[in-house]
Amino acid sequence: MACVNDLQCSKNNFLELVHNPIYCGIIRIPANQDEEEQFVRALHEPLISESLFHQVQFMICKDQNKRGNRDVLKSLFPLRCFLSCPWCGCKLTGSVSQGKHLKYAYYHCTGYKCKGGFRAEMLNSCYEEKLKKIHLRPEVYELLGFVLEGENIFTRRREHIDDGRKYYILSQNKNFIFQRQESTFWMRRSTLMISAN
pLDDT in tens, 161-194: 777 676 666 666 655 555 555 555 555 555 555 5
Q: What pLDDT is recorded for position 176?
A: 54
pLDDT in tens, 30-46: 888 888 888 888 888 88
pTM over 0.95: no
Torsion over CA of 102, 105, 110 and 114, rounded to 10 degrees?
-70
The 8 Å CB, 24+ separation contacts for 113-120 are 113/88, 114/85, 114/87, 114/88, 114/90, 116/85, 116/86, 116/87, 116/88, 116/92, 118/92, 120/76, 120/77, 120/94
The secondary structure element, H or E, covering residue 1 is: none
- Say yes or no to pLDDT of 7 above 80: no
Contacts of 175 (CB under 8 A, 6+ apart): 37, 39
How far is 93 from 102, CA to CA, in rounded Å? 20
